[in-house]
Structure 1
């Protein structure tokens, strides 16, 4: 019995060393939340964001809240949008599958549904499990997705890997496609399996990486896009910020613009413990993009549509 336990212990140490070697930390000692290419969304997607943003302004449908100078977009939603997710657990060893047990995956789904607050609801359609050391290491991703992808443009495919890599080959916690790829096998999100609730990725193990990547899959972009003087994420109730937040410390990196930095926004890079909210305008934009790319029978809301939002706005922190 002792030899069996010791062998299992050595196996776990070996697996941990392998994953650590494949997943080098960034300059600050932490694996980057996303690869560099995620800072540059497809121009086709940004063009749509600009049109939706400008249409809302031109119609006068964006109302201003005199309290903080940011738009007031309402607080209720009429029709929640439900979509299904296929979860693909891909690890290098059979033992590695335990890090994404059915109960842990359900906890992740619960985190996602809590984040979207009924504006979107996510139902797990199925889970498949694959042991493949190449795919689990973030390599040959195209073949993996071509082999495992299920559903259509309205189905989210979420891959849980030992290591996620960007185009440069560097490790990251997650990466996702955008709605302009809807219905293709590349239409998916990949996240580090250790970012699931209770995982071993310290500071990033509350399941918020999946929320962030789902936001991208729905079409949302980073709150820090464009810095202080650009159009940001083209959503008017997310305050601008100079760069991504890497901590939970309140800051005002754009003092000449209204609102504090949205460090609590799911589309930022803050640690999991301080990611707690989407803004009303982000829900509206996600619903607009859903209607355009993923479910044509769902009407796209205008900028004046009211949606559910119970979290405290970042600007008031």
Structure 2
């Protein structure tokens, strides 16, 4: 807890400095758009909010990996602040907060067209063929279903959220599959699987490919992703072998939705509850406020922070069969990454 509090103090000073700098820009360009960054944070509230369920499965450690990366790279916080600022500015502009193509460095509206993302799959397996081609194919198919609103379970979305369901219109195409055999029992969460000197596989052209690593992470962890802004050498998504694609060994998490969740992080989505209490948000306006993750397959409504949780959102922690939607606001947030100056623009240029 002490470590996190110190981190929060540091980021608060950093954010204050950045806000002063951005306010100077806004004073020049205030007739076009204003961006509020007062709620922005890169840290979770408490160590016990990293996402461990009652049965010991820690689904996603993207925020823990982010904390590790922030400690290693002193310039990362500023870079992520700038990405967030431009994301919010592009979304506000789309909603009519500024004039397209205006001066003062205003980015264009969020990218509206279809996006195709080539996927490089890097498999570190204990024996040749441990990860099957069927698993690989099923993971690509599931990503395409979920990011194009073709998950058959979406018909179960409650009426309260029905008008928020988004077709993200992002497609994934399988590219190169790289394999190495390594009997290491677990790879942890500090990106060792991405380092050839440690027996892993290096990233392939991350500006133009989404790199996806499949390995035994260890500790019952399902996966994690690097948020936009991190180092190119480690950019991508990591999924535990049992939870990659359709795999009976993954149990209730064996239907490929760990991939959907982690790709959401790679496209700048936070956990839907904001990794904190009721005053901590996921930076998306149309997702309800909550103070915790949900597990298993909760009934609707499940209420926290005086509102019904969107438990069926891909960025919660429910079992695979019970997550089946992104929102329009999440769609805007992801698409804001594809405009000039943002980190995923290479996929549409």
What TM-score do the two structures reach when normalised by structure 1?
Answer: 0.69
Residue 65 of structure 1 is matched in structure 2 by none
Q: Residues of 2 paired with 1:290 and 1:78: CA distance?
A: 9
Unpaired runs of 5+ in structure 2?
1-51, 71-76, 98-110, 149-167
Give 1:148 deviation, angstroms. Answer: 3.0
Are 2:122 and 2:201, in contact at CA under 8 Å, matched by a contact in 1?
no
Residue 304 of structure 2 is matched in structure 1 by 253
Q: Residues of 2 paired with 1:130 and 1:297: CA distance?
A: 27
Is residue 143 of structure 1 aligned with residue 195 of structure 2?
A: yes
Is residue 28 of structure 1 aligned with residue 28 of structure 2?
A: no
Residue 109 of structure 1 is matched in structure 2 by 140
Query: Paired residue for 1:155, among 209, 214, 217?
Result: 209
User: How many residues matched?
Assistant: 247
Q: Residues of 2 paired with 1:102 and 1:142: CA distance?
A: 21
Are 1:193 and 1:199, in contact at CA under 8 Å, matched by a contact in 2?
no
Q: Residues of 2 paired with 1:155 and 1:39: CA distance?
A: 21
Is residue 209 of structure 1 aligned with residue 258 of structure 2?
A: yes
Are 2:227 and 2:265, in contact at CA under 8 Å, matched by a contact in 1?
yes
Q: Residues of 1 paired with 2:246 and 2:81: CA distance?
A: 32
Q: Residues of 2 paired with 1:230 and 1:46: CA distance?
A: 20
**SS of residue matched to 1:211:** helix
Are 2:119 and 2:211, in contact at CA under 8 Å, matched by a contact in 1?
yes
Residue 84 of structure 1 is matched in structure 2 by 118
The within-5 A match list for 1:88-99 is 88-94=122-128, 97-98=129-130
**SS of residue matched to 1:237:** coil
Could you give the per-residue CA deviations for residues 117-171 of structure 1, whole angstroms, max 9, x where no partner exists? 161110011112211112x62154342487432123231111111x215xxxx44
The 1:37–1:239 alpha-carbon spacing in structure 2 relative to 1, beyond 3 Å, is same
Give 1:102 deviation, angstroms. Answer: 1.4
Is residue 275 of structure 1 aligned with residue 329 of structure 2?
A: no
Are 1:179 and 1:219, in contact at CA under 8 Å, matched by a contact in 2?
yes
Query: Paired residue for 2:221, among 161, 169, 172?
Result: 172
Residue 127 of structure 1 is matched in structure 2 by 177
Are 2:120 and 2:212, in contact at CA under 8 Å, matched by a contact in 1?
yes
Give 1:33 deviation, angstroms. Answer: 0.5
Give 1:290 deviation, angstroms. Answer: 3.1
Give 1:245 deviation, angstroms. Answer: 0.9
Could you give the per-residue CA deviations for residues 193-252 of structure 1, whole angstroms, max 9, x where no partner exists? 111213312110000001111111111111111545435111111111111111321311
Residue 246 of structure 2 is matched in structure 1 by 197
Unpaired runs of 5+ in structure 1?
1-25, 63-76, 300-317
Q: Residues of 2 paired with 1:243 and 1:106: CA distance?
A: 33
The 1:61–1:146 alpha-carbon spacing in structure 2 relative to 1, beyond 3 Å, is farther
Give 1:28 deviation, angstroms. Answer: 2.2
**SS of residue matched to 2:57:** coil
Q: Residues of 2 paired with 1:178 and 1:107: CA distance?
A: 24
Q: Residues of 2 paired with 1:58 and 1:295: CA distance?
A: 18
The 1:229–1:53 alpha-carbon spacing in structure 2 relative to 1, beyond 3 Å, is farther
The 1:58–1:78 alpha-carbon spacing in structure 2 relative to 1, beyond 3 Å, is closer
Q: Residues of 2 paired with 1:58 and 1:180: CA distance?
A: 22
